[in-house]
Amino acid sequence: MATYHWYPGHMAKARRAMEEDIKVIDVIVEILDARIPLSSRNPDIISMGSGKERIMILNKADLASETVTREWVNHFKEDGYRAVPMNSRDKRSFSSVMKAIDSAAEKKRERDLKRGIKNRPVRLLVCGIPNVGKSTFINSLCKRNVAKTGNKPGVTKGKQWISVQKGVELMDTPGILWPRIDDPVSQKNLALIGSMNDEAINRDDLFLELAFVLKEKAFPVMHEKYGIEQTDDAAMMLEKTAEKLSMKKAGGAYDTDRALEHLFTAYRGGDLGRISLEEP
């Protein structure tokens, strides 16, 4: 899990780096988490990249509701963005990204031509908050291991351009942006998917949120897997999960702490179904 803490100094530094990078690029590829497209979007990215072509990647779409993701794609398209649902771990799902890149590059080239600029490569920058899958996306797009994957921002140093297709280049280092840390709802959503340092939010409180989501959006699975009923509260859900999985403490009582961790892991790994936390 990402345990990166954002302080004002970090944010200022990330902003400066982003502003530098943006100067030399034509197309911004914004990676969002498909389960929480709003909460996982950097609050200042719109103003920072004004005038640039954009592609929104709804990443980890394999963990989000297909229907809701489709609604998000339409929502972003209505706002004039290119939006592509994506599973960055699956290289096969890259054809629609290539189409979006083509279209963004074409627009850029037309603009260049009008200004008399010829044969200049169209340059892309992948950016997003930590843990949305920037490195995984870059790796898969380039079909070779050019970027290190891991949960810590800043593992890659020094910048290079990677050729994505003829006349299109990608900056090998993604732009790392800060999340919406001032907004409690976003913070809760980021914590639920495991993209925010959990310590900021009490574990039991966070489970109350998860319990609510699971009963509302994954009830059949919860019922089938753990025998959970619609009337069960969060404490009962933990009891039943511990019982079903035979999780017991030394004295013989059900180990609800372990059950809680189990449910978080299962949810985050997609084992309880494809669940979106935000709808347009």
Closest CB to ligand GDP belongs to which residue? 133
Binding site for ligand GDP (CB under 6 A): 59-60, 62-63, 86-89, 128, 130-136, 149-151
Closest CB to Mg ion belongs to which residue? 135
SS3 percent helix, strand, coil of the chain, rounded to 5, is 45, 15, 40
CB of 152 to ligand GDP, least distance (A): 7
Q: Which does 39 bind (CB under 5 to 8 A by kind): Mg ion, ligand GDP, none?
A: none
Q: CA 4, CA 198: separation in Å to the nearest integer?
A: 10
**H or E element that contains 161:** strand 161-165
Rounded to 5°, angle at Cα 239 from 234 and 242:
125
Q: Which does 131 bind (CB under 5 to 8 A by kind): Mg ion, ligand GDP, none?
A: ligand GDP
CB of 9 to ligand GDP, least distance (A): 20
Judge contact between 44 and 197, C-beta under 8 A: no
Q: CA 50, CA 68: separation in Å to the nearest integer?
A: 28
Q: Tell me, residue by residue from 122 to 161, as one string, x for binding to Mg ion by CB under 5 A and - for no binding.
A: -------------x--------------------------
CB of 134 to Mg ion, least distance (A): 5
State whether residue 85 is helix, strand or coil: strand
CB of 70 to ligand GDP, least distance (A): 16
Judge contact between 129 and 18, C-beta under 8 A: no
Q: Rule CB under 5 A: which residues touch Mg ion?
A: 135
